[in-house]
Structure 1
Amino acid sequence: MKPCHFTLEYFITETGKIPFKDWLERLKDIHTRAKIRIALDRISLGNFGHARSVGEGMHELKIDFGPGYRVYYAFAGDAIVLLLLGGDKASQSKDIAHAKEYWKTFKRKRR
């Protein structure tokens, strides 16, 4: 049985950058940032909305707003959601590739 509540954590690169947070803060429209934060709040409550697997243990949450925003995440424990990266439909393939590299790095460091 999956937990009802999840802790959201950010992936941090070896140089100290936080790709997901950096992406979110670069979004100029406050309404867009608010919609994404609401989606994150829902994830923390166990509501993963319109999410699908993108392989290698990673998932993509589709946010039906604007250019089709995406949140890439993975489960880093029973109740931990690791936020890897964000993007939109136009950069989807590139974003998935970057997020997969972040996920591989995280798993390698965790061993």
Structure 2
Amino acid sequence: MVGNTSSVKWLSGRPGIGEYRINWGPGIRLYLMQDGDELIILLCAGDKSTQDKDLDNTEKYCRCYLEEKRSK
């Protein structure tokens, strides 16, 4: 079960991708997706200055995850 995801902001411009903010240093953003009852951390994080690039990479990782899952 996923549990409480109230701290995750689901991004309207990037369907299926959520952002979890960590208030440390410049403000770290951790990107994730939900797959059924699991949260999948997409190993892509950064701060506000790299957000657009990080989100582009996050979308690629999301697609790769789903393709890999389908191929099994």
Q: Is the pair's TM-score, using the shorter chain for normalization, greater than 0.5?
A: yes
Please state which structure has a larger fraction of its residues in strand.
Answer: 2
SS of the residue corresponding to residue 104 of structure 1 reads helix
Residue 46 of structure 2 corresponds to residue 87 of structure 1: yes
Amino acid at match of 1:89: K
Displacement of 1:56 after TM fit?
2.8
The alpha carbon displacement at 1:50 in A equals 5.2
Task: Report the equivalent of 1:66.
Answer: 25
Give the Å deviation of 1:47.
Answer: 3.8
Deviation at 1:65, TM superposition (A): 2.9
Hey, what does 1:28 align to over in structure 2? none
Relative distance call for 1:80 and 1:50 in structure 2 (3 A) is closer
Instruction: Report the equivalent of 1:101.
Output: 60
CA contact (8 A) 1:62 1:68 kept: yes
Identity of aligned residues (%): 26
| Runs of 5+ unmatched residues, structure 2 | none
TM-score w.r.t. the length of structure 1 is: 0.54
Deviation by residue 1:3-43 (Cα, 9 ceiling, x = unmatched): xx42xxxxxxxxxxxxxxxxxxxxxxxxxxxxxxxxxxxxx
Q: Offset at 1:108?
A: 1.1
> 1:62: how far off?
2.1
CA distance in 1, matches of 2:8, 2:65: 25
Report the structure number with the largest CA radius of gyration.
1
1:72–1:99: 8 Å Cα contact kept in structure 2? yes
- RMSD of aligned Cα (Å): 1.7
1:55, CA displacement in angstroms? 1.2
Change (3 A) 1:59 1:105: same
